[in-house]
A and B are shown apart, each in its own frame.
Chain A
Amino acid sequence: MTLPSPAPHLRKTASGLHSLTCTIDGMKCGQCALAIERSLARLGGVASARVNATTRRLNIEIDRAVTGPEQVFETVAELGYRIHPFPEAEEEASREASLLVPLAVAGFGLMNIMLFSISVWAGLATDMGADTRSLFHWASAAVAAPVVVYSASVFHLPAIAAVRNGRMTMDVPISIAILATFAASLRETLHGADHTYFDAAVSLTFFLLLGRILDQFLRRRSRSAADNLRALTEGNAFLIREDGSTVEIAASALGPGDLVHVPLGARIPADAVLLSDHGEVDESAITGESRPRFLRAGDALTGGSANAGAALRARVTAAGAASRLAHIADLADRAGSHRGRQQLLADRFARGYGPFVTGAAAAGFLGWLLLLDAQVSEAVMIAVAVLVVTCPCAAGLATPAVVTRAGNRLLADGIIVRDGGALERLAEATDIVLDKTGTLTGQELVLDSCPDARISGRAGAIAASSRHPLCVALSRAIRRNPLPGVAEFPGRGLETEDGERLGSAAFVGGDREGPDDGLAEIWYAAPGARPVRFGFSQAVRPGFAETVEGLRRRGLRPLILSGDTPSAVAAVAGKAGIADWDAGRSPEEKLAQIQSMAERGKRVAMLGDGLNDAPALAAAHVSLSPSSATDAAQNAADVILLGESLLPLLRVIDVARSCRRLIAQNLAFAAVYNILSLPLALAGMLTPLAAAILMSSSSLLVMANALRLR
């Protein structure tokens, strides 16, 4: 096994040591983290080694004079874990302000304000004097102020932003309720009144922050899992220096004119021209075409495709923003810009509920002032009581509680949900578009058409001595001991001492008869005999037919959209009886098709893995990728399915649907609960004590309902 080189990712620290962040795959629990730390500590020159078992990352500081980063990698690999350097830039970006401190301030406020509130409630029934009550109200105000200003700014700031953009989100009614309750209570305190609602403002903030923090925990866990996965697939490049030596650098550091070495199986790091005489590349990630392409010196190589043949040399023509890769990524970015505007259930709820809440409060105020001739202060308190009781506290918890539960369940099943809203959108999907190469089919090639046993045996024996992917696939199907004295002609084929040849059609002298069946092929000929052909296709992923059947049963119409040849697509579509398929699609055409389906009112879920799928993934209503997908596809995907099998697709759809059902139930419950208690508030019968009980009990019920998700 060759390890990715950590050298380009080393950072120099202030104390002259080098630090490195890596992602570690294969850890089961915290014990593994400790075992890794212990082994690393035994290496000399390790100043500190810390494995975070939650994010699955290693932070290590080494003295390069004593221990190289390669030794660190070997040590971890020997323990049986996969280790890969983690780009520091991404790690920095994934840090966002924690909500723990705002929650702690709100919790501190809630506990202490209850100390005063319960005293006042008890005092009202007994003999507390007006001065003492006033003192307790002032103390409550002092405790509530930091909560309302600091902790609740988590809602105030987005609410202000939403109002500026003319939108209505859940933050707006929340923010209004918290601020109005606090302001009115302050006014009551000034006038020495009996009731204040400081405790309501504080507990509102606390419960809502709880919902937010659940949301944040899930997002962080999913994001760190997704980032780790991306670091594992990110490639380095081998730069050939002027003196002929090679050095491994990050692919992003390449520039036009650089000479690169691409080993067998590696990704071509940038757009380039081929310098070797021959080459064979697998462009399936870019075009969807599963058959490797043969190239000659001077032909163009596209960054992101894989080297399917012998190691080759190439000169970079375009890297970074100018490359084909960057162009497609850009297309995906623009196609994905619509995402922010999509309305989730909670937002739709807020759009209807927000005006209702403020309307009810205004009606209460005017009703008491004009119809019942109440004093202004009394009418204001009625309006505040309405705001408190209708404030969507349970509604603010409704979505995060369910989505967090669903996200954690799915993560345990090997499904990463990068965006909580994706589950709701997936539940709404009407059609599902599937990419073929790499998505429905795996990476492995299988022998499809095979001549008689004697010839196969010879071919298998010759193939056993080569590492070419087609030869590997052939010898996997036909196991023979390698034949001695086989000469390999890179990019063309193999020849034995007796003159038997195994290789490309041109090398062996094979002649295609009949229609092209779209399979990758290898030819065999004994001297003087007629060449025979072996055809290969990519194996479909396990659970393919079952998954397609399951999709149909769930009312989703599957459609295959591939860049591969019609015959190759038809073969795969036939295995699961999919009648709708399109072949030979460019990334732009895939994108256009998704957009036109969306215009016809369809909600399209897209499952794809290649660079060529990225724009279509970004444009789809919801998008999914297998974990083997290219960077660009994973960036555009909302959901990432780990493992080979396609069956998790059904699981995530089922969870998404019950998730949406539970969210809708929670929101309906919150609305009904709040509206039922509205008359109490309008009649002026809602005491602060009743408000506190109503609010906490509805929040708890919503949380309990979320736990029903299986």
Chain B
Amino acid sequence: MTSLLYLIPAAMILAVAALAAFVWTVRTRQYDDLEGDRYRIFEDDDRPLR
């Protein structure tokens, strides 16, 4: 059962990384225009929003 002592922190670190990635997408305002973005993916020369 000592493997749990590695596995639980490992699971937590991965989950926190995923959460951090999501928070980053919110911070960079990637949910502000879902309507426009679903057409924007077809653009070849799309520049990301600064």
Could you list which residues of chain A lie within 8 angstroms of chain B, going by C-beta atoms? 29-31, 33-34, 48, 50-55, 98, 100-101, 104-105, 108, 111-112, 115, 129, 132, 135, 139, 143
Which B residues lie within 8 Å of A29 (CB)? 35, 39
Interface centre among B33, B35, B36, B50 (most CB of A within 10 A): B36
Q: Which of B1-50 contact A (CB under 8 A)?
A: 1, 4, 8, 11-12, 15-16, 18-19, 22-23, 26, 31-40, 43, 49-50
On whether the beta carbons of B19 and A105 are closer than 8 Å, the reply is yes
On whether the beta carbons of A33 and B1 are closer than 8 Å, the reply is no
Minimum CB distance partner of B27 in chain A: A101
Contact partner of A104 (CB less than 8 A), chosen from B12, B26, B39, is B26
On whether the beta carbons of A54 and B36 are closer than 8 Å, the reply is yes
Which A residues lie within 8 Å of B39 (CB)? 29-31, 33-34, 53
Minimum CB distance partner of A112 in chain B: B15
Minimum CB distance partner of A52 in chain B: B33
**B-side interface mostly:** helix
On whether the beta carbons of B19 and A104 are closer than 8 Å, the reply is yes
Minimum CB distance partner of A142 in chain B: B12
Which A residues lie within 8 Å of B36 (CB)? 30, 33-34, 51-54
Bound: A33/B16 CA distance, A: 36
On whether the beta carbons of B23 and A104 are closer than 8 Å, the reply is yes
With known contacts A30-B40, A111-B15, A54–B34 Cβ distance under 8 A: yes
Contact partner of A30 (CB less than 8 A), chosen from B22, B26, B35, is B35
On whether the beta carbons of A115 and B33 are closer than 8 Å, the reply is no
Which A residues lie within 8 Å of B15 (CB)? 108, 111-112
Bound: A115/B14 CA distance, A: 14
On whether the beta carbons of A48 and B50 are closer than 8 Å, the reply is yes
Bound: A51/B35 CA distance, A: 11
Which B residues lie within 8 Å of A105 (CB)? 19
On whether the beta carbons of B18 and A34 are closer than 8 Å, the reply is no
With known contacts A30-B39, A50-B49, A132-B1, A104–B22 Cβ distance under 8 A: yes
* B14 CB to nearest chain A CB (Å): 10
On whether the beta carbons of B23 and A54 are closer than 8 Å, the reply is no
Interface centre among A30, A33, A54, A132 (most CB of B within 10 A): A30
Beyond A34-B40, A98-B31, A101-B23, 10 additional contacts (C-beta under 8 Å) are: A29-B35, A29-B39, A33-B39, A48-B50, A53-B39, A55-B33, A104-B19, A104-B23, A108-B15, A115-B11
20 A-B residue pairings within 8 Å (CB atoms): A29-B39, A30-B35, A30-B39, A30-B40, A34-B43, A48-B50, A50-B49, A51-B36, A52-B33, A53-B35, A54-B32, A54-B33, A54-B35, A100-B26, A101-B23, A101-B26, A111-B15, A115-B11, A132-B1, A139-B8
Interface centre among A52, A55, A132 (most CB of B within 10 A): A52
7 nearest A-B residue pairs (beta carbon) = A53-B36, A30-B39, A53-B35, A52-B33, A30-B36, A54-B35, A108-B19
With known contacts A34-B43, A53-B33, A108-B19, A98–B26 Cβ distance under 8 A: yes
Which B residues lie within 8 Å of A48 (CB)? 50
Which B residues lie within 8 Å of A54 (CB)? 32-36
Which A residues lie within 8 Å of B16 (CB)? 108
On whether the beta carbons of A112 and B12 are closer than 8 Å, the reply is yes
Which B residues lie within 8 Å of A31 (CB)? 39
Bound: A101/B40 CA distance, A: 24
Bound: A182/B12 CA distance, A: 20
* A24 CB to nearest chain B CB (Å): 12
Bound: A115/B4 CA distance, A: 13
On whether the beta carbons of B11 and A112 are closer than 8 Å, the reply is yes
* A376 CB to nearest chain B CB (Å): 31
Interface centre among A50, A105, A132 (most CB of B within 10 A): A50
* B19 CB to nearest chain A CB (Å): 5
Contact partner of A52 (CB less than 8 A), chosen from B8, B19, B32, is B32
Which B residues lie within 8 Å of A51 (CB)? 36
* A589 CB to nearest chain B CB (Å): 45
On whether the beta carbons of A30 and B37 are closer than 8 Å, the reply is yes
* A19 CB to nearest chain B CB (Å): 12
Which A residues lie within 8 Å of B32 (CB)? 52, 54-55
On whether the beta carbons of B4 and A100 are closer than 8 Å, the reply is no
Bound: A351/B38 CA distance, A: 43
Minimum CB distance partner of A139 in chain B: B8
Which B residues lie within 8 Å of A132 (CB)? 1, 4
* A69 CB to nearest chain B CB (Å): 21
Which A residues lie within 8 Å of B26 (CB)? 98, 100-101, 104
Bound: A143/B16 CA distance, A: 10
Bound: A50/B37 CA distance, A: 11
On whether the beta carbons of A30 and B38 are closer than 8 Å, the reply is yes
Which A residues lie within 8 Å of B37 (CB)? 30
Bound: A111/B16 CA distance, A: 12
Bound: A101/B30 CA distance, A: 13
Which A residues lie within 8 Å of B34 (CB)? 54
* B36 CB to nearest chain A CB (Å): 3
Which A residues lie within 8 Å of B1 (CB)? 129, 132
Which B residues lie within 8 Å of A108 (CB)? 15-16, 18-19
Which A residues lie within 8 Å of B50 (CB)? 48
Bound: A8/B12 CA distance, A: 53
Bound: A105/B20 CA distance, A: 10
